[in-house]
Every structure is written in C-alpha cells, then in structure tokens.
Amino acid sequence: MSNVPQIDPAYHHPARLQIAAMLARVDEVEFATLRDIIEVSDSVLSKHLSALSDAGYVKLKKAKSEGRQRTWASFTRDGRNGFAKHMAALRELAEMAEQAVAAE
Amino acid sequence: MDQNDAMKALDSVRETDRALERRARWPLWRHAAFGALEALLLLAWGVPLAAMAACIVIALGGLWWIVADDRRRYGMFVSGYSSRAALPATWLALAIVLSGLVALVLTGGPNQWTPYVLPVVGTVFVGCTLASIWWEKLYRAELRQGGVQ
C-alpha cells in the first residue's frame, strides 16, 4: 500500500479547488459572487460547477431574485468531506516537501 | 500531483480565503438585528400567552428577512455554524439567551410580566449583538490566517 497522500481528482483543477475553498467557508453562495471572488469567466465557472454537481459534491439551486433567475451553490455532505480529505492530503504533501528541503 | 503542486494548491486556497475576507463585513445594524431577534425570542417568555405568539411570529419573520437580505445584499449566506474558529461566539450567544431564559423563569416564571423582564431582555440584546460582532472578528481572522478547513 502506498504512503502517498490520496488527493481527490474532482478537486485537482485549480478552479474547482477554489470553488471548494469558497463553499467550505459559507452556507451558500450566488454564482456572480463566486465568479468575482475566484476571478474566472462565467463559462469556466459554469463548467466546473456542473462537473462538481455531477460528481455529487455541489448542490445547485435556481431561485428568482429581483426579477432575475440566479444560481446558488452549496456543498453536499460528500463534497465537504471530500474537500477536507483533499486538503489534508495537500498539507501532508507540502509537509513532505518541506521536510525534504530541510533534510538537504 | 507532486509536492510543489500541493504547495501551489494550498496557496490558491489561501488566496481565495483572503478574497472572501475582504468581502466578509457586516454593518453594525446587522449585528444589532441579530441581537434584537434573540431578545424578542426571549421576550416571548416574559409576556402573556397572546403576546408570546406575536413575539415568536415577528422573530421568525425577522429571521427569514435577515437571511433573505444577506443573500440579496452580499450574494452569500454564512450562518453562525459555518466557521469552526468562530464557534465560541456562537456558543456564547446561545449561552446568553439560555441564561436570560433561566433568569426570566426564576424571577417570575414563563408568561409572567415582572420588572425584571425588560432588564433581562435588554442585557440579552446587548450581549448577543456583541457576540455577533465578535463572531465576525473571529471569522475574518480565520480567513486571513487560512485556518484549517
């Protein structure tokens, strides 16, 4: 069995990791706010949100507000747990890198 | 993914936290609105039964309005339980409300108006407002420092 920390492929893409980082800090966030914070285009955000939704990690909800249809995103339980494990794996990998540098 | 990729990924998460931290600010009236709702829920136990129902309906309506206003104004909703680092402030607000409830019951019993009701409710209003302000400080500090997710 390998000792290499297991990262979650669903969060491998930088934009998806940033989406997850944002969702981990809030209960729910509207599409435009998420787009402004992680600084990606509408189409890129839409594509990655759909991928995370298809993976069962993100719940998307449409709601009308001020006469416009808006999309709201939130983590599912699997998404939140998967992100916590992914972050733990990233921290473990980073610590390994720091230990390797210190050992040189 | 190698170790350098992992470090870059962690940096991008920290940058997202910082970007959120720059937005995560709530005005004083929003903290006071939370304090007022908690105080109103408590007041419900210190007034006669008919007024109790009115207090609860108004408090629940206010709660719904705060959530809707947060969503409309900030494009997101962050509950008191969203941040591990800020949980002490959430527990403090809960403890203040429960202490107020115990004080009302001990000084007159439920649904009994006594001279103690207004001071207790006022104390809960101030305490919960301050707890909400403290919550924001803890939440923003967690985002600034990139606390464990």
pLDDT at B80: 93
Give the tens place of pLDDT for each residue, B130-144: 999 999 999 999 999
CA distance A54 to chain B (A): 22
Rounded Cα distance between B134 and A41, Å, is 35
A15 near B CB under 8 A: no
Tell me which of B76, B82, B135, B138 to substitute to probe the interface with A (most A C-beta atoms closer than 10 Å): B76
The residue written with tokens 């527990």 in the block is B91
Question: In sequence order, what are the residues at sequence separation of 6 or more whose Cβ sits closer than 8 angstroms to the Cβ of residue B84?
Answer: B142, B147, B148
Residue of B nearest to A68 (CA): B72
Give the tens place of pLDDT for each residue, A11-35: 999 999 999 999 999 999 999 999 9
B10 near A CB under 8 A: yes
* Average per-residue pLDDT for chain A: 91
Residues of chain A contacting residue B83, judged by C-beta atoms under 8 Å apart: 25
Domain boundaries of chain A, sorted by first residue: 9-103
Chain A 52-91, CB below 8 Å of chain B: which residues? 65-66, 72, 83-84, 87, 89-91
What's the per-residue H, E or C state across chain B? CCHHHHHHHHHHHHHHHHHHHHHCCCCHHHHHHHHHHHHHHHHHHHCCHHHHHHHHHHHHHHHHHHHHHHHHHHCEECCCCCCCCCHHHHHHHHHHHHHHHHHHHHHCCCCCCCCCHHHHHHHHHHHHHHHHHHHHHHHHHHHHHCCCC
pLDDT at A99: 79
Give the tens place of pLDDT for each residue, A56-71: 999 999 988 778 899 9
Pick from A32, A37, A97: CB nearest B3: A97
Residues of chain B contacting residue A39, judged by C-beta atoms under 8 Å apart: 19
Coil, helix or strand at residue A75: strand
Four-way CATH pick for A9-103: 3.40.50.300, 3.40.50.970, 3.30.9.40, 1.10.10.10: 1.10.10.10
Taking an 8 Å cut-off on Cβ atoms, the answer to whether A37 and B23 are in contact is yes
Coil, helix or strand at residue A85: helix
C-alpha triplet B19, B21, B25: angle, nearest 5°: 125
Ranges of chain B with pLDDT below 50: none
B71 near A CB under 8 A: yes
CA distance A7 to chain B (A): 8
